Structure 1
Amino acid sequence: MKFNVLRRLFIFPSQKFNCIFDVLKEKPSFSLMSIYYNWYMSVLSLSPAKSEVLQAFLLHKKPVKPIEISKEIGKKFPSVMMHVIGLTKMGYLFSPKKGYYKLTNEGEKYLGALNLNREFARKLLTGKFFGNTFNFYLGLNEPINIKAYNLQTFVFAIKKAPIQSVEFHMKRGDFKIWLRGIGDVDLANKIEFLENNDLTGESLKQKLHLTTFNR
């Protein structure tokens, strides 16, 4: 029985919770529980490489091919595919159709994605966050007459702002800080991922605008 439980733990990670009860029913030895604990913690904590792949899926509302993810993050496809398979076994990704993958609810929770209720979503989109207006700058002490009061105005502001201004705020992390301040952790995480991709110029502005527009 112990061998079968351990075999299920290592080969079928998605069954981890059922295995807890199997292990407890058998009144396992301390060594068996230690093996399980170490395995379970390794499942919960993703490697930096796996986290990077998982974060890339945040930017896609629709299922996407792993080859597209590999191009976006600049990693070789075989390595990305290996992580996609692992993340799928762990329950963070799923494949709705052959060759395409998408974040599961568990994957979104792991990344801190925010499930918005209708009222809060409406406030984020069209409400005014007094005291939390985002003022765009070209650089230090160089304000420009572009402001954002909510997500709707933020989308238009990104499109209107000069590339120099967008790059300035991205390098400082201003966008993600403001978004977390008004409560949109999900979009903040997506923008943080863009920061780590080292995008510049028009490609940065277009990707940022598309990400905020799709929110």
Structure 2
Amino acid sequence: MMLPAGAPKFRRRKADRPGEIVGAAMAVFAEKGFAAARLDEIAARAGVSKGAVYLYFETKEDIFRAVVERAIVPNVAAARAMLAAHPGPFPDLVRTLAGLVGGLIDTTPIGGVAKMVIGEARNFPELARIWHDELVAHMLGAFAAAVEAAQARGEVRAGDPRIYALQLIAPLLVGVIWRETFVPVGAPGFDIPALLDQHVETYLRGIAP
């Protein structure tokens, strides 16, 4: 079939547009924060008009929710499935999980979005609620359950599984905040995967029976 004269050679399917808007929004949120992010900039990065953004999302909060649900939750679901299916030994599970999360932090804007949520939660509490309910609560709960199972197998010493889960996550969060806050003003950065590798070995020695 011949295209009319002057017609574009490629027409993007409308079904692709929400995903393109979400990807653009994730980058803008990570760079500018929530308050400073403008819909016209998100639209420009997505290659659509500002009006097209409103066809899919009514508010900037709706776009943020879509960022979490489309760009982050699938990774969380994969990690939770891995935690639930892994029979042991526990050190192998922790190393695998750390590699997965470290790679995600190192190659996507998720760290910048996390810093945005932390920095703007007081003025935009809905961001923190969405981040907690869709991401943090699920991952903390899944890892705490894995710790509890490892304790039952005798692989982990007695202690609160939820606290053990938080202890594993904490240095990663500090590393992300450092990278997003201090590196842009000249501080030397940390290699996030290397930070996690070293932390995991220290952590595993500390919780061993």
- TM-score by length of structure 1 reads 0.31
More helix by share: 2
Larger Rg, first or second structure (1 or 2): 1
More strand by share: 1
